[in-house]
Amino acid sequence: MNETPMKKCLVRIGLVFAVCSPLLAAGAPKSAPSTPTQPETVLPAGTQITVRLAQALDTRRDRAGTRFTAHLAAPVSRNGVVILPQGAVCRGHVVESKQSGRLRGRAVMGVAIDSVERQGKAYRVTTSTAARVSKDHKKRNLLLIGGIASAGAAIGAATAGSVGALVGTGAGAGVGTTGALATGIRNVHLAPETRLTVALRQPVTVRM
């Protein structure tokens, strides 16, 4: 029995489809596997960060803008989960560095943290300033000037009576003031391992 032209055409189309379908399937672009997103945690403003200096800082040498390295002295946690581990590398800079005057004022050293590392990635941070201030040396200067003035008065009295005592007092005070000027400058020295605590001024998003 002879096949009709229509039936022959349908058979041919079926054969072509059977042959081409696997080829078309193989050549079709495959969708890339989805990459799981890393969870993130936000450390809010006000979060405290305590660091240990890895180097010394001193108002005699280090000016505002000096860079330094430190390490986290304690882990930073959020909701019971450690976000920044103890020992993480921190980098910061000196915000303020000022020696005291010779007769008055105090030395000041202020520092801030600029970044904290986690798993090799550095996260930029903006923090408050941790400051250290020297002791006031007003009392020391008064004792120094007064003590030398008294000694001068005693020497003056022994040599020339009451007039000599007045002269000796003035001379002694002058020497005492000079001594205070020469020795009265105070500085702030932060040794390695000094602990400093700052607080975040802005939130920081950290990938876990």
For 50, phi and psi rounded to 5 degrees? -110, 125
Residue 84, H or E segment: strand 81-84
Alpha carbons within 13 angstroms on the beta-carbon side of residue 100 total 24
> pLDDT for 70-128, tens place per residue?
999 999 999 999 999 999 999 999 999 998 876 667 899 999 999 999 999 999 999 99
Side chain identity at 117, as an amino acid letter? E
Domain 40-136+187-207 architecture: Beta Barrel (2.40)
Residue-range domain boundaries for the chain: 40-136+187-207, 138-183
pTM for the predicted model, two decimal places: 0.64
C-beta of residue 113 within 8 angstroms of C-beta of residue 51: yes
Comparing 139 with 108, the larger pLDDT belongs to 108
Stretch among 16-25, 86-95, 190-199 having the lowest mean pLDDT: 16-25
Looking at per-residue pLDDT, the higher value among 40 and 163 belongs to 40
